[in-house]
């Protein structure tokens, strides 16, 4: 086997190892981001429940509803309305990203 073929094989092995390491690092980063996303979602739900309770305490007597009903409705509104806007924006950004990719590649899969 010539020197050149050994060098090419070594380079290929190094490239394959670099790809494997990059995949591991990417996988770890995605798992961490997934956990962070769930922690943030749980924090937002907790804050909306606390804020809903505060609204329930303050508005139950004024509106004439029970504390529990006011708390649930306020919590759902505090958590749901911003969440709906965020989901809508994410879908719009995703569609724009896909459109940009399709324009760059010059082909369509659908």
pLDDT at residue 47 in the model? 94
Contact 79, 46 (CB under 8 A): no
Range of the domain at 54: 3-105
Query: Does residue 3 carry a pLDDT above 90?
Result: no
Does some domain include residue 92? yes
Pair of tokens at residue 22: 């990059």
Burial class (CB in 10 A: 0-12, 13-18, 19+), 74: buried
User: Would residue 110 count as lying in a domain?
Assistant: no
* Residue 9 pLDDT: 66
Domains: count for the chain: 1
pLDDT band at 33 (very low <50, low <70, confident <90, very high): very high
Q: How would residue 108 be classed by pLDDT, with cut points 50, 70 and 90? A: low
67 located within any domain: yes
- Pinpoint the alpha helices (H) of the chain: 3-63, 67-105
**What is the percentage of the chain residues whose pLDDT exceeds 70?**
85
């Amino acid at each position: 086997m010539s020197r050149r073929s050994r060098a090419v094989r070594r380079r290929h092995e190094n490239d394959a190892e670099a790809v494997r390491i990059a995949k591991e690092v990417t996988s770890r980063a995605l798992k961490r981001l997934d956990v962070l996303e769930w922690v943030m979602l749980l924090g937002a739900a907790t804050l909306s429940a606390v804020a809903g309770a505060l609204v329930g305490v303050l508005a139950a007597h004024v509106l004439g509803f029970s504390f529990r009903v006011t708390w649930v409705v306020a919590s759902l509104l505090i958590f749901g309305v911003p969440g709906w806007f965020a989901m809508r924006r994410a879908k719009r950004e995703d569609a724009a990203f896909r459109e940009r990719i399709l324009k760059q590649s010059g082909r369509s899969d659908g």
